Structure formats: structure tokens, C-alpha cells
Amino acid sequence: MRGTNPLPQIAESAKVTLDTPMSTPREANGELNRDQIRAMRRSYGELGLTETDLAGDPITQFHRWLLEAAQNPVIVEPNAMVLSTVDEVGPQSRTVLLKDVGADGFSFFTNYGSNKARAIAQNPQVSLLFPWYAMERQVIVRGSAEKVSERASADYFATRPWGSQIGAWASSQSHDLESREHLQARYDEFAERYPEGTPVPLPPHWGGYLVVPRGIEFWQGRYSRLHDRLLYTSTASGWDLTRLHP
């Protein structure tokens, strides 16, 4: 698999090209000025993305890119993805970790009382974005989020380190917190209730979501901003592949 789809040359491609060098005088407060920010751009690479290179289905293609990201020492948290939801106020994004991916979709775990969970209950249409900038790549998934089974949540919860399990009990994610001390006191209370080395049950307010994709776009940076964008769209019989203008 890797033989037909080699890694980009990271050392060269990871460089940020500044037309205005960073050494030019900064603002009095030490911040970069507007010209310096505008001058930050990279010359994107040689590695193209062709229809013939791509797998017939986007999940196989995603597995290839995830593997390459995971093997790339420059990529921090290769399974981190930006989840965007929409609620009555508008869109909101935050990072979550991908914990499973397969033919049925992309899974992550969270607090079912959180803002994201409330938004998903109102509107299950979400976006996931994998930002693998150092590889000049991004993947965008659009789809519908649904809760996974309690059994699937319990199975994953059991694999988490004890401290994370206790943290899940202690946190009312996204709700106002009066102080750090209050959180610590809740943590200590649950740590006493479920001592280290004993099984910690799945909190009723915690579990997974599966994002069932209807579209998955693979983006590969190219020279002169002529990037490759290949979009798989779900159809009744499988996946259609379309190339988009960059």
C-alpha cells in the first residue's frame, strides 16, 4: 500500500516560507503585524492525488492516509479531528479524537451532556476535519451523527486509563464550573468510590457517536495553489468520485 502512495518529503514541505522574514521589526507589543501574517505561505508540493491512485471507497483511502499520518513524526495526534456542529446560535467547532473508523463511519467519545451533544440532538448533521497540514493534506467528512450502543461505549470506556475514567465521572463537560478546586473535589470523591484497580462503570452521561458519512473529501496541496480535491459522495449503490476546483 505504502509502495504505491509514498510519503511526501516532510523535511522540505514542512517549512513555512515567509516572504517577509520573521526577523523584520514586529509591532511594539511583540506581535506579528498584518503584513507578516499575510506573507506566511508555503509552496505546496509535488505529490499529486490522481483518480487512479485513490481507493475505490473512501474508507479504504482514509485508512491509507491515517496510516501515513500516524507514521509521520511531524504529525501530532494524527487521529485528532475538528468536529463542527450547528445549534440554535450557530456553528461551533472543537477537537475530538477519532477512536474507530470502518464501513459504517467515524466514531468518537464524549460527554452526552456537553454542548456538542446538545447540538447533535438538535441537528445531527456534522462535519469532521482532519488537519494534517505538515503533509499538505486535509480530509473533510460530512455526515450524520448518532449515538453508538451502550455496549460499544462500555467496551471502549473499559480500555481507558483509570484516571480518564474517573475524570469522565467527575466532569459535567461544558457546564459552568465554580472553581478548579470544586472539580478536584469531585474527582477525589469518584476516585474514592471507584479505587484504582477496581472496575469503573460507564457513566450514564458518557458514550460514543458514530458519524455516518455522506461525503468525504481528500485534499492534497499542489504547486501554484492548483490543489487536488477529490470528493466521494455516497449513493444508493456505493460511492461517486468527483474532482473539484481548488
Ligand X SMILES: Cc1cc2nc3c(=O)[nH]c(=O)nc-3n(C[C@H](O)[C@H](O)[C@H](O)COP(=O)(O)O)c2cc1C
Question: Count residues contacting ligand X (CB under 6 A)?
Answer: 16
Closer residue to ligand X in complex, CB, 108/239: 108
| Dihedral pair phi/psi, residue 166, rounded to 5° | -65, -40
Q: Give the span between the Cα atoms of 205 and 198, in whole angstroms.
A: 20
> Site map for ligand X, 69-98, x if CB under 6 A?
--------x--x-----------x-xxxx-
Per CB under 6 A, 155 contacts ligand X: no
Q: Has 94 been annotated as catalytic? A: no
Q: How many residues does the chain have?
A: 246
Closer residue to ligand X in complex, CB, 50/123: 123
| Dihedral pair phi/psi, residue 82, rounded to 5° | -90, 115
Least distance in Å: CB of 229 to ligand X?
25
Least distance in Å: CB of 24 to ligand X?
32
Host H or E run for residue 17: strand 17-18
Closer residue to ligand X in complex, CB, 109/232: 109
Contact residue for ligand X among 5, 20, 144, 174 (CB under 6 A): 174
Closest by CA to 171, choosing from 186, 189, 188, is: 186
Q: Which of residues 219-238 bind ligand X (CB under 6 A)?
A: none
Contact residue for ligand X among 68, 101, 116, 211 (CB under 6 A): 116
Least distance in Å: CB of 136 to ligand X?
21
Contact residue for ligand X among 108, 130, 156, 219 (CB under 6 A): 108
Quote the cell numbers at residue 9.
Answer: 518529503
Q: Give the span between the Cα atoms of 184 and 218, in whole angstroms.
A: 42
- Of 47-55, 110-118, 158-166, 229-237: span binding ligand X (CB under 6 A): 110-118
Least distance in Å: CB of 119 to ligand X?
8
C-alpha distances (whole Å) from 232 to each of 58, 62, 97, 223 are 6, 11, 23, 23
> Residue 98: CB partners within 8 Å, gap ≥ 6?
66, 79, 80, 81, 106, 107, 108, 128, 130
Q: Give the span between the Cα atoms of 190 and 167, in whole angstroms.
A: 8
Closer residue to ligand X in complex, CB, 96/212: 96
Closer residue to ligand X in complex, CB, 77/189: 77
Give the count of alpha carbons within 13 A of 200, CB side only.
Answer: 26
Q: Which residues are identified as catalytic?
A: 225
Binding interface with ligand X (CB under 6 A): 77, 80, 92, 94-97, 108-111, 114-116, 173-174
